[in-house]
């Protein structure tokens, strides 16, 4: 089985910011993760990540808020997306 994209969404904001979410199902867990998903959730401007969630090989599940990188406890896809959207709203100052 090859990696298969199971979710993709992109939102372009009027101020030029972009939110792009991509999730793949992979044949075996990415090194450092205990689940069969690989994901990359990005919010920022071209060349500037402000909020990001991913499970880079060897690092496992983690998130980026501005210049900070902290571990992230993955539970479900729904929780992952909800947490990302909440962080983006907080970063943008949206209610």
For 27-50, the pLDDT digits (tens) are 999 999 999 999 999 999 999 999
pTM as predicted: 0.93
Distance of alpha carbon 85 from alpha carbon 15, whole angstroms:
17
Give the model confidence (pLDDT) of 8-33 as tens digits.
999 999 999 999 999 999 999 999 99
Cα distances (angstroms) measured from residue 30 to each of 13, 46, 72, 76, 93: 31, 26, 14, 16, 33
Say if residues 23 and 5 touch (Cβ distance below 8 Å).
yes
Residue 95 scores a pLDDT above 80: no
Q: What is the DSSP string of 15-64?
A: TS-EEEEEEEE-SSPPTT-SSSEEEEEEEEETTEEEEEEE--TTT-SEEE
């Amino acid at each position: 089985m090859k990696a298969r994209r199971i979710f993709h969404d992109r939102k372009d904001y009027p101020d030029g910011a972009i939110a792009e979410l991509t999730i793949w199902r992979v044949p075996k867990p990415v090194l450092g993760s205990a689940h069969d998903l690989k994901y990359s959730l990005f919010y920022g401007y071209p060349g500037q990540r402000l909020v990001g969630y991913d499970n880079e090989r060897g690092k496992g599940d983690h998130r980026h808020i501005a210049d900070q990188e902290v571990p992230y406890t993955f539970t479900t896809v729904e929780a992952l997306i909800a947490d990302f959207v909440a962080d983006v709203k907080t970063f943008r100052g949206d209610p």
